[in-house]
Structure 1
Amino acid sequence: MVQGTKRSDPRDWHGHRIVTEDDLVRSFDDRDPAHADHRRRRNKRLRHGIVLVLLLGLVATAVVGAYLVMTRQLVIPAWEPKPEVAAAPDLEPACPRDVLAYVEPAGVTVNVYNATRIPGLAGAAANRLEKRGFKIGEIGNKTLNDPDIVAAVVSGPEGRAHAMSVQRHIKGTEFVKDPERGSATVDLVVGQKFGSFVETTKVVTKDGRLSCPRATAEEKAAGEAAGSSGAPAASRPAREAEGG
């Protein structure tokens, strides 16, 4: 009986194992924990590398942009400082010379303020104005640079005719302009010489101008001084009422 020979493994060749396709598939199977962990680490490193490159790009762009802006090679309009616009000088004289129409008291609102230490003076003035038909707004206290006057009548451009109407009822008041006021209301700031009202029957209701005796005197004095020195006359502003 002839004894048969053992059949050799076709994957063995001279003592070496031949790696087949099936072996490769099994070696790199994702179900292999070691292989899956290796792939996760590799993908993580790849993501980190991409993020690092993007960050470096952003930093480089910011540095270059800052350099260009600082050297004025790149100008961003929104970052440019806006030029300051100087306020237009007030070329109008301290005492406006407009010819104004008289306004009936019912159409005039007056705020009355006391610039003295005499208690109740603003309230008393407000009562007398109200009896003549004026509308009364605020009643309170304010200060004057020089309280030794009858009263200061203050208004903006829109209230000059109203201010003139108030002056027609009170003797010796000084008009003071307030260019910033946008309403027609009038402030009456009473001083230490306040007290003399014009008789109702003698109130002038014709067109006319505002009364600024002190401002007019100061302008005249300034003009005379400028004439004697050869310099152009410069008007001085009237003493204005200040909130207190």
Structure 2
Amino acid sequence: MGGKYRITGDKYPRMRRPRRRGKLILAASASVVALGLAGWGTLQLIDVFTGGDRQASAADHETDCPSAKPSAPAKTLPKPAKITVNVYNATPRSGLAKKAADELKKRGFTIGEVGNAPAAYDKKVAGTGVLLGAPSAVNGSFPVLGTQLQGTVSKTDARRTADVDLILGTKFKALSTPQSAAAALAALAKPAPAPSC
């Protein structure tokens, strides 16, 4: 071989390998990814220490708080006129059942039987009163009638009719005032607020 590649003595030509562009592209990509991760991590730390984005959208809030649901619609409670109330007196004082029944009638309730309490309850109700009715009355008639007399105890029996018994106890003095009863009824009909996260 002649020319500049001619081998003479113990010296060999030093030929440079062709540069590989792959390593250069890989190194550039790795630095871009490292810088991106460092920037993202910095933003996360800033959010942690500053409280994050306080103006998150409602959609973001729902994904952050899966238990958050729109507030429940207002409860559909029966109107007083749709509730038939039997008023019984379980105290030794006479005339209480008639007096309470007349007041409930003025407030729009339908009155059924009025008289002395059955033997199972006669002189055995220590509180202000007992509401007694079918299991279906627990979420319907009981709460509405309970607004008229504070401190009542609710009990269910095996009846299949929609009427409710109000048995007046020894601590009964008078029904709630019409204003406080109306306020309690309005609060009962309001929807429950949505839970906060």
TM-score when normalising by structure 1: 0.41
Shift of 1:125: 0.9
> Structure 1 runs of 4+ off > 4 angstroms?
none
Give the secondary structure class of the aligned counterpart of 1:176.
strand
Higher relative contact order structure (alpha carbons within 8 Å, sequence separation ≥ 6): 2
Cα distance in 2 between the residues matched to 1:134 and 1:103: 11
Cα distance in 1 between the residues matched to 2:163 and 2:95: 22
Identify the residue that residue 157 of structure 1 maps to in structure 2: 135
Cα distance in 1 between the residues matched to 2:76 and 2:98: 28
Identify the residue that residue 179 of structure 2 maps to in structure 1: 201
> Within 5 Å, which residues of 2 pair with 1:145-184?
146-160=124-138, 161-178=140-157, 180-184=158-162
Q: Does 1:185 align with 2:127?
A: no
CA RMSD between the two structures:
2.2
Unaligned runs of 5+ in 1: 1-99, 209-244
Shift of 1:164: 1.5
Which of 76, 85, 94 is 1:119 aligned to?
A: 94
Identify the residue that residue 141 of structure 1 maps to in structure 2: 116
Shift of 1:127: 0.8
Unaligned runs of 5+ in 2: 1-74, 191-197
Q: Does 1:106 align with 2:81?
A: yes
Cα distance in 2 between the residues matched to 1:193 and 1:132: 22
Contact 1:102/1:162, CA 8 A, preserved across alignment:
yes
Give the secondary structure class of the aligned counterpart of 2:78.
coil
Contact 2:80/2:144, CA 8 A, preserved across alignment:
yes
TM-score when normalising by structure 2: 0.50
Cα distance in 2 between the residues matched to 1:131 and 1:171: 18
State the structure with more CA Rg: 1
Aligned AA (2:156): K
The CA deviation string for residues 4-58 of structure 1, in whole angstroms up to 9 with x for no partner, is: xxxxxxxxxxxxxxxxxxxxxxxxxxxxxxxxxxxxxxxxxxxxxxxxxxxxxxx
Give the secondary structure class of the aligned counterpart of 2:147.
helix
Shift of 1:197: 2.3
Shift of 1:129: 0.6
Cα distance in 2 between the residues matched to 1:207 and 1:102: 7
Contact 2:100/2:175, CA 8 A, preserved across alignment:
no
Cα distance in 1 between the residues matched to 2:96 and 2:89: 6
